[in-house]
């Protein structure tokens, strides 16, 4: 309050004037009582009389002045009518300056009262008061107002800075609340936008901890916004490389899973698994493409020997190792096996039947059962068995070892086809080859015994080549290559 003191001291002359008047009065009183010459006494008496006359003339203003509270700076009545020679005349002239000084000091005190740090309305009111005081000081006639005006301007600047800081803090708090509300409403892009604006425009209005919390909120909102777009981006990714790029971009953007919440870590972990699967599929596709080229070259330059074919197929499977590659090679091996183990086709009609008599003779034809006598009529063609045109003989049931049925050659072919199909489907087990070789030998033996019977079919049918092919496989090293095409975990 040093500047207020300077302002008030500027008005000291008028106070001194008032006090000096009473001093002068006391001096006259003293002089009248002291010793002196007759002339001195006469001069003093005249001066005293003159002073008394002046006092009597100023009695009424002095009475008013005596009753006044000078520090309250009230208006002084009657001073304007005082004579020009009166000391009170000068007091009347100086009194407005005294009043202005007191009121200015009081205004400064009132405007500079302490306010709560966060009381925005009180700070704005104090700023308005200071602005009014600055305007008043600018048009004041008082001496020494420059230091006070400097103080007032500094107070105004400080108040405005404090108001701006509070407004920024309130704006920052509102933005933080808005960002959190947007996050909980799953409006993640809006949350990111609010956080970015806050950190860019109001970073100085929040403390370091709050700023860090805003950055964390922004990162979480960005994560969920990106996660929301991830699903649609994956749907529009038409190729495996495109899908890999989408997943890789997301995983690279959030490399540290430990800074995320559990729900976010689950998404990251799933993306990493999907990425690994996608990369594996891409690598597998590349291998499949290269394997397909190798298989095409094998087809174009196919070795004549079956074991050599298997060896090359096993090498291709070993080199690329994809299931697609092995599946293609298995199909090739099955095709090769179908060539080396061909289907057996008989010239006889599939409806042709035969029966063996008690005399070990074979009767072949198209049979129809009859009840009286119980037995079977035999026709030379199927059409005649349906629409007989002439009477034929009847074989009594007692003359046959069994009812007419499929021919022996056809039954042999059926047994062979069953074993052949099983082996072609899964040629890896050795016992399948061994069973096929043994079956073929057995079928040839049964056919040989069958052909010795009168009336049997003499159609050429042999399984010896297939039996030999099976035995060759058992004696070869084909199993090493077959196991590469049919690993133990592979289903037939």
Half-sphere exposure of residue 68, counting CA atoms within 13 Å on the CB side? 17
pLDDT tens digits for range 25-63: 444 444 444 455 667 667 766 766 666 666 566 666 666
The percent of residues in the chain predicted with pLDDT above 90, rounded, is 47
Other CB atoms within 10 Å distance of the CB of residue 378: 21
pLDDT score for 142: 67
Nearest to 406 by CA among 362, 343, 375, 437: 362
pTM above 0.85, yes or no: no
Contact call for residues 260 and 275 (beta carbons, < 8 A): no
Q: What HEC string does the chain produce?
A: CHHHHHHHHCCHHHHHHHHHHHHHHHHHHHHHHCCCCHHHHHHHHHHHHHHHHHHHHCHHHHHHHHHCCHHHCCCCCCHHHCCCCCHHHHHHHHHHHHHHHHHHHHHHHHHCCCCCCCCHHHHHHHHHHHHHHHHHHHCCCCCCHHHHHHHHHHHHHHHHHHHHHHHHHHHHHHHHHHHHHHHHCCCHHHHHHHHHHHHHHCHHHCCHHHHHHHHHHHHHHHHHHHHHHHHHHHHHCCCHHHHHHHHHHHHHHCCCHHHCCHHHHHHHHHHHHHHHHHHHHHHHHHHHHHHHHHHHHHHHCCCCCHHHHHHHHHHHHHHHCCHHHHHHHHHHHHHHHHHHCCCCCCCCCCCCEEEEECCCCEEEEEEEEEECCEEEEEECCHHHHHCCCCCCCEEEHHHECCCCEECHHHHHHHHHHHHHHHHHHCCCCHHHHHHHHHHHHHHHHHHHHHHCCCCCCCCCCCCHHHHHHHHHHHCCCHHHHHHHHCCCCCCC
Query: What integer pLDDT is reported at residue 96 of this predicted model?
Result: 62
| pLDDT at residue 10 greater than cutoff 60 | no
Average pLDDT in the 1-29 region?
45
Cβ neighbors of 423 (< 8 A, separation 6 or more) are: 337, 341, 432, 433, 436
- Please tell me the predicted confidence (pLDDT) of residue 16: 38
The mean pLDDT of 140-160, rounded to a whole number, is 76
pLDDT at position 101 over 60:
yes
Mean pLDDT, residues 371-387: 92
The overall longest dimension of the chain from CA atoms, in Å, is 205
pLDDT (mean) for 248-258: 84
Average of per-residue pLDDT across 188-193? 92
**What is the structure's pLDDT at 79?**
59
Q: How far apart are the first and last CA of the chain?
A: 103
Compute the average pLDDT of residues 321-345: 95
pLDDT of 303: 96
The reported pLDDT for the residue numbered 127 is 82
Residue 33 CB neighbour total at 10 angstroms: 8
For the ranges 130-139, 350-359, 455-464, which has the lowest average pLDDT? 130-139
- What is the reported pLDDT for 235? 87
Least confident of 65-74, 383-392, 463-472: 65-74
Do the beta carbons of residue 8 and residue 108 sit within 8 Å? no
Cα 336 to the chain's mean position, in Å? 54
Strand ordering across the sheet containing 405-406 = 394-396, 374-379, 362-371, 353-356, 405-406
pLDDT, mean of residues 140-150: 70
Q: Identify the bridge partners of residue 169 per DSSP, sorted by sequence position.
A: none
Contact 287, 321 (CB under 8 A): yes
Neighbouring residues of 419: CB distance < 8 A, sequence distance ≥ 6: 432, 435, 436, 439
**Of 425, 400, 427, 417, the residue nearest 463 (C-alpha):** 417
Instruction: Give 316's pLDDT tier (boundaries 50, 70, 90).
Output: very high
Residue 211's nearest CA partner among 219, 222, 199 is 199
Mean pLDDT of 103-115: 62
What local confidence, expressed as pLDDT, does residue 23 receive? 39
Average pLDDT in the chain: 82
> Which of 115-124, 387-396, 429-438 ranks highest by mean pLDDT?
429-438
């Amino acid at each position: 309050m040093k500047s207020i003191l300077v302002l008030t001291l500027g008005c000291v002359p008028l106070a001194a004037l008032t006090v000096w008047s009473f001093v002068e009065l006391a001096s006259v009183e003293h002089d009248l009582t002291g010793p002196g010459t007759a002339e001195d006494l006469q001069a003093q008496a005249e001066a005293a009389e003159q002073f008394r006359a002046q006092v009597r003339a100023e009695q009424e203003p002095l009475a008013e002045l005596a009753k006044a509270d000078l520090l309250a700076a009230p208006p002084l009545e009657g001073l304007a009518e005082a004579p020009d020679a009166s000391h009170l005349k000068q007091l009347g002239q100086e009194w407005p300056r005294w009043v202005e000084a007191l009121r200015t000091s009081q205004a400064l005190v009132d405007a500079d009262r302490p306010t709560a740090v966060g009381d925005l309305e009180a700070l704005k009111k104090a700023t308005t008061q200071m602005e009014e005081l600055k305007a008043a000081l600018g048009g004041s006639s008082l001496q020494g107002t420059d230091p006070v005006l400097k103080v007032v301007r500094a107070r105004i600047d400080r108040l405005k800075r404090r108001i701006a800081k509070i407004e920024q803090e309130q704006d920052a708090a509102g933005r933080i609340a808005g960002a959190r509300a947007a996050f909980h409403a799953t409006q993640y892009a809006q949350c990111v936008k609010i956080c970015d604006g806050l950190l860019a425009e109001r970073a100085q209005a929040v403390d370091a901890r709050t700023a860090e919390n805003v950055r964390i909120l922004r990162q979480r909102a960005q994560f969920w916004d990106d996660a929301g777009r991830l699903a649609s981006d994956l749907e529009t990714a038409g190729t495996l490389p495109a899908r890999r790029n989408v997943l890789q971009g997301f995983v690279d953007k959030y490399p540290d899973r430990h800074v995320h919440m559990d729900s976010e870590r689950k998404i990251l972990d799933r993306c990493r698994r999907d990425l690994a699967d996608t990369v594996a599929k891409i690598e597998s596709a590349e291998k499949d493409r290269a394997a397909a080229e190798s298989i095409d070259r094998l087809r174009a330059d196919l070795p004549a020997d079956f074991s050599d074919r298997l060896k090359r197929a096993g090498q291709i499977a070993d080199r690329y190792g994809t299931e697609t590659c092995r599946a293609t090679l298995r199909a090739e091996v099955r095709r090769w096996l179908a060539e080396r183990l061909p289907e057996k086709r008989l010239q006889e009609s599939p409806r042709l039947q035969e029966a063996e008599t008690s005399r070990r003779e074979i009767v072949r034809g198209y049979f129809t059962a009859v009840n009286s006598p119980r037995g079977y009529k035999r026709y030379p063609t199927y059409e005649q068995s349906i629409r007989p045109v002439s009477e034929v003989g009847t074989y009594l049931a007692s003359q046959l070892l069994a009812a007419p049925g499929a021919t022996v050659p056809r039954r042999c072919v059926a047994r062979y086809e069953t074993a052949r199909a099983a082996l072609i489907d899964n040629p890896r087990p050795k016992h399948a080859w061994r069973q096929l070789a043994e079956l073929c030998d057995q079928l040839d033996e049964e056919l040989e015994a069958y052909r010795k019977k009168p009336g049997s079919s003499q159609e050429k049918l042999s399984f010896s080549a297939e039996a030999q092919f099976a035995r060759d496989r058992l004696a070869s090293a084909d199993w090493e290559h077959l196991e590469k095409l049919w690993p133990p975990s592979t289903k037939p």
